[in-house]
Structure 1
Amino acid sequence: MAEREVRWQGVSRHRLDYVVQPVSDIATIRSILAPRVEYTAYALGQLEPALFPRTRWFYARGTTGTGLVLHSRGGLGDATFVLGDPDAVSAILSIHPGPAQTYATCQPQHLDVLRKYYRLANQQPMIRMGVTRAAFAPVHTHHTAVLSGIDIRKVNALYGSEGGPSYYIPEHIDSGVYRGIVADGRLVAVAGTHVVSRQEGVAVVGNVFTHPAARGQGFATATTSAVTEALLEYCDHVVLTVDPNNTPAVAAYARLGFREVCQLVEASAARRDPSGMGSSIRRIRAAIRGRKYDGSFVSLHD
């Protein structure tokens, strides 16, 4: 990624200027993400060789600082992740807003920026919790079974037990770490992962679910413990995301040694410019203006 000096002389105090560049060098991306590993764990996981080809990364630097945007495509849909200075993130999204429909992850300070480019739905404040090997306190109150793609019908039946659809495929289970509890021949609880990266040494625990008729027996804690224990054998950083209002879950994770490390927001996002015409025009103009900077030159007005 070229780093030519950007000269802002004579720029109005009310204009914010940025150079936006695509980033494809894994080492460069890693260096940006690593200082905030608990927040960026999911993005770091996308550096895995099997996942990286399905990602697009953009970096901005300018008046107020730097920002990074990731657009990724996975088996369960598109996702967008943002990091850094909100105005720098805005500069990126103004010309690279990503797919028409996506699932956005940001921190609270990014919300106003995301609302400029997307209509947000199902907006959910969350807390990110992380655990280390030294802090982990496993529980073995229930026997847990290793799940694989061959169990996909049981997994989808469990996730769909409250009436919603479940679209997991065997590859989702086989590419992650999943543990379940079986009672009377039926899968009644499961915990798994959103992403696992042996290469980066990070994992995001998720997809924790217990059948409504089996709740209150510690099954979620036991399956989460089993997944975390397996991950900590080769991951230095294991994190999960939880609704802060779900106090039983927060308490259960705390008993396992997880501690809050940051706040974030997750939301379904629909691009305000569905056709992409506006961003395409801005992208062309920014590319012309930014040729001498080896990138796209974006100006925002505060």
Structure 2
Amino acid sequence: MLCAVTDKDLIFRFLSRQSELHIYELGDLEDDYFAHTQWYAWDTEGVEALALLYTAQKPATLIAIEDHVEPAYERLLEALLPGLPNELNVHVSPRLAFVFEAAYPVRSCVEHLKMIWRGKADDEPGASEGLLPAGMSLHRLEAGDIPALRDLYAAGYPRNWFDADMFAHGRYFGVRHGEALIAAAGTHVCAPSYGVAAIGNVATHPDYRGRRLARVVSAALCASLSRDVAHIGLNVHAANHAAIAVYRTLGFVDVTRYCELQLSR
């Protein structure tokens, strides 16, 4: 049967059985984010399926990811449908996407890949700096760099998801050419108390592409995070073959695929 769940320990125990699959959800157990979450379970003789509705942004985002065929997830989503918002983003395992067709016209459906880092934890954060051309330098970014970071994203990654709270709760590395910030990588999730982090907001200024700068900042970020968390993951558009190739050279491997749906009714 469908039930709302507020017990953070219960949620953690369920998610941590497959931490690599649920890095974003585990990150949302941090107090600042948990206040913006609603959790729903299908529970007969224990939790069999779990979904997260994240409401901090409009439209809200529903996350329901599995890595094997589990009928309880279908039952959970079908039971949730009548009470979900009319405008909704959904991250869902591909085989479950059909559930929403009964209640929503699907505006878009884009396949993404979840990856997990299997790199070496003893890599030094600055080890990649030797790959940089003369005149460029690698830095861990600070709050004063946020305006330059916003400018970089406006030029090189205008559709990215970034706000100052993500910086305050996360970790960012950047490459400068002189005083100009020309590449950066940061975190969407950084939750050491739950052992997880997810990298994102990886961008290079269009004038500096083709110089492996995304690899440099991502490698430094992973090495730094590996000192504090057990699981480092990311989500990437399945058609972004160039980015996937870079991540694989850093030691990321595939975990699963999911569909990102935009729904409106």
Shorter-normalised TM range: 0.7 to 0.9
Cα deviation code 1:52-100 (max 9, x no counterpart): 11111010146xx932221113368632111353422323322432x33
| Aligned mate of 1:103, from 89, 105, 121 | 89
Q: 1:168 to 1:269 in 2, by over 3 A?
A: same
Matched residue type, 2:89: Y
Code of the residue aligned with 1:213 in structure 2: it is: D
Q: Deviations over 1:208-262 (max 9, x none)?
A: 1111111111011111111111111111000012223322222211111111111
- Please report the TM-score for the alignment, with normalisation by the length of structure 2: 0.84
1:159 and 1:136 map into 2 onto residues whose CA distance is 30
- Deviating more after overlay: 232-241 vs 169-178: 169-178
Q: 1:92 aligns with which of 66, 69, 79?
A: 79
8 Å CA contact 2:2, 2:76 repeated in 1 = no
Aligned 8 A contact 2:204 2:213 in 1: yes
Q: Cα 1:144–1:103, aligned 2, differ >3 Å: closer, same or farther?
A: farther
CA distance in 1, matches of 2:233, 2:161: 24
Identity across matched positions, percent: 26
Contact preservation (8 Å) 2:65, 2:258: no
Task: Indicate if the aligned counterparts of 2:119 and 2:250 stay in contact, CA closer than 8 A.
Answer: no
Larger mean Cα displacement after TM superposition, 226-235 or 113-122? 113-122
Highest Rg: 1 or 2? 1
Q: Which has the higher helix share?
A: 2
Structure 1 residues 123-181: Cα deviation after superposition (integer angstroms, max 9, x where no partner): 22111111145478663423321223322221111111159477844322121111111
- Are 2:21 and 1:31 equivalent residues in the alignment? no
Gaps of 5+ in 1: 1-18, 273-302
Distance in 1 (alpha carbons) for counterparts of 2:121 and 2:192 = 20
What is the aligned partner in structure 1 of residue 251 from structure 2? 257
Q: Does 1:175 align with 2:176?
A: no
* Partner in structure 1 of residue 260 of structure 2: 266
Q: Tell me if structure 2 keeps the 8 A contact 1:196–1:204.
A: yes
Structure 2 runs not aligned, ≥5 long: none
- 1:22 is aligned to 2:8: no
Number of residue equivalences = 251
One-letter identity of the residue aligned with 1:262: T
SS at match of 1:199: helix
Match for 2:39 among 31, 48, 57?
Answer: 57
Letter in 1 for 2:231: H
- 2:154 is matched with which residue? 160
1:120 is matched with 106
Q: Is the Cα–Cα contact under 8 Å of residues 41 and 202 in structure 1 kept in the other structure?
A: yes
Question: How far off is 1:107 after superposition?
Answer: 1.2
